[in-house]
A and B are shown apart, each in its own frame.
Chain A
Amino acid sequence: MNCIVCVASVPDTASVIKVGADGKGIDEAGIKWIVSPFDEYALEEALQLTEAKGGEVTVVTYGPAHAEAALRDCLARGAHQAVHVLGGEATLGDSLTIAKVLAAVLKDREFDIVLCGIQGVGTDCSQVGQMLAVLLDLPSVAIVTKLEVGDGSLTAEREVEGAKEIVESPLPAVVSCQKGLNEPRYAALKGIMAAKKKPVEKIEVASLGIEEGADPFYRVESFTLPPEKAAGTIIQGADDPSAAAAELVKLLREEAKAI
């Protein structure tokens, strides 16, 4: 069971977002980069699959220099191999170009399953897995919260509004992983030390025949922060909670017209 795990290096979810100098993206000063949290579920699932069935986990990322730390983190948790396609700053949020880069890396490799997170935290597009599947002519299942991999096929639970879809698919397939699928492990010190010695294969994006920014499918014209909210109406309810509750309901009804 050889698994490919596609990961993205993204700003820590606790980051305060500021607008960068070009007005089209974030100010990266002081940003701590992490493995996108949804990708951690993909990695954990791949590690469990190879522990149960043998085979190797190869993590692939397409990103600038800081993305190597994400790969090292995955290696420290137990991934066997890592591939770093250098670039990605000009194509941030351009899901189809990202999928093309990943497809170019994967087309000549042997694998049984491709796992990724449902979305890269930040650009929040939730598209690369499905696009990659189309480019590799594979089936895909997204928003997966439970996965059983059998001989040449998989059964997955997919989270939809108020329900679960039970999906069956042949392998290989692309699976986009959602929180709830598993509990990602932390890297142990031994793993962290071992990861420092594992090689990371470096690929220049141009060598894949893709010229970044030459033929974009997504273009950001402006990037802004939401307007500051005015101070709200705060009711002190410690002494007489019933009166506070009644006042709140009255305000919601008559002033906010929300109920």
Chain B
Amino acid sequence: MAGILVFVEQRDGEVRKASLQALSEAKRQGGAGGTVTAVLPGSGVGDIATGLSAWGADKVLVADDPNLLRYSAEGYAEVVAKAVETAQPSAIFFAGTAMGRDLAPRVAAQLGVGAIPDAVALTLDGDSFNVRRPVYSSKAFAEANTAGKTPQVISLRPNVFAAEETGGSAEVVAIDGLSLSIRALVKELVVVAGEELDVAEADIIVSGGRGINGPENFALIRELADALDGAVGASRAAVDAGWIDHSHQVGQTGKVVSPSLYIACGISGAIQHLAGMNSSKIIVAINKDPDAPIFKIADYGVVGDLFDVIPPMVAAIKAL
């Protein structure tokens, strides 16, 4: 067994950025001494299969079937299991998206191996990876492995590993002979209007907390986020007050994020919130209270009223 199999996720014919990151990382890791094989389930996805070579795939296994148009854990896991039979990889990479983190444990349990989620660094030791992953919502880090079990099932945290377009060509091979006995099936995908960019995937996040005083003021947070092409985040206080949907929550009972820029507005910085965002590359805090704990981990801070600071910030960014 050698090589890395990478699960490639697409939505409506568009490959998720996090999957390209996983493919590129597999390539950078030299395919763990073998080839990098992409596995792509979907319906009408033949066209995007050939493009995957540019991001690091040496070979692409495609399962193109109308029954795979929408996600099903069982159907997609069967596709990956078939690909494992063909590719005989020593590791299987998933992007740590909602889909990847649902599928990876299923595939692992079917193969009778463990799975390691949320990798932020990978070190190849012989033909086996040691995985650095945040635990306790990034209050700590564990260096872990699969205790010798292969293939190693690993999901990679989005936006940590770079996607690199390197060119190249790949052989595209169809996977057939699927039984696709699917019980739990996605019937419909409802895109939340205007919120295509999720905090878990965003490179820039602007978050609002208790200090924004009410749900209507998320418009101001959104204005700053839009100026930066970023996503809107929130503290638990703002979510629990009912000001914004939970899918925006950053923190220990929300999403753990590591964007390149995190701007916390009116967030004091409870330990649970800090845990969810302290691995962001650059942290900015805007808060009236100079003693707010958020300033202790901020790279840049403005002590001031966010309602006075954000509008000129938006203007200054637009003027860049």
B residues less than 8 Å from A234 (CB atoms): 290, 295, 298, 300-303
Chain A contact residues: helix, strand, loop or mixed: mixed
Given known pairs A96-B109, A221-B145, A241-B308, the reply for A159 and B140 (CB within 8 Å) is no
* Residue pair A133, B106 in contact (C-beta under 8 Å): yes
Q: A93-B144, A241-B309 in contact; A233/B299 too (CB < 8 A)?
A: yes
Q: Is A167 an interface residue (CB 8 A)?
A: yes
- Is the pair A26, B140 in contact by a Cβ cutoff of 8 Å? yes
Measured between C-beta atoms, what is the minimum distance from A39 to chain B in Å?
Answer: 11
Contacting chain A: which of B33-41, B164-172, B190-198, B214-222?
B190-198
From A15, A159, A223, A246, give the contact of B312 (CB < 8 A).
A246
Does A48 count as interface, using CB distance less than 8 angstroms? no
Question: In angstroms, how far is the closest chain A Cβ from the Cβ of B183?
Answer: 4
Q: How far is the CA of A94 from the CA of B183 in the complex (A)?
A: 27
Known: A127-B105, A179-B246, A233-B299. A249 touches B140 (CB 8 A): no
Q: How far is the CA of A220 from the CA of B145 in the complex (A)?
A: 7
Q: What number of A residues sit within 8 Å (CB to CB) of B?
A: 86
A251 on interface, CB distance cutoff 8 Å: yes
Residues of chain B at interface, number, CB under 8 A: 101
Inter-chain contacts of A259 with B (CB < 8 A):
204, 228, 261, 317, 320
Query: A207 at interface (Cβ–Cβ under 8 A)?
Result: no
Contacts of A14 in B (CB 8 A): 270-272
The residue of chain A having its C-beta at the shortest distance from the C-beta of B302 within the complex is: A237
Roughly how many angstroms separate A80 CA and B20 CA in the complex, as a whole number? 48
Chain B positions near chain A (C-beta within 8 angstroms): 11, 16, 70-71, 73-74, 97-99, 101-102, 104-106, 108-110, 112-118, 130, 134-147, 149, 183-192, 195-198, 200-201, 204, 228, 239, 245-247, 249, 252-254, 256, 260-261, 270-272, 278-279, 281-284, 286, 288, 290, 295-305, 308-313, 316-317, 320
- Pairs across A and B, CB under 8 Å, 11 listed: A16-B139, A94-B114, A96-B109, A129-B105, A140-B184, A229-B297, A234-B298, A237-B305, A241-B302, A245-B312, A256-B261
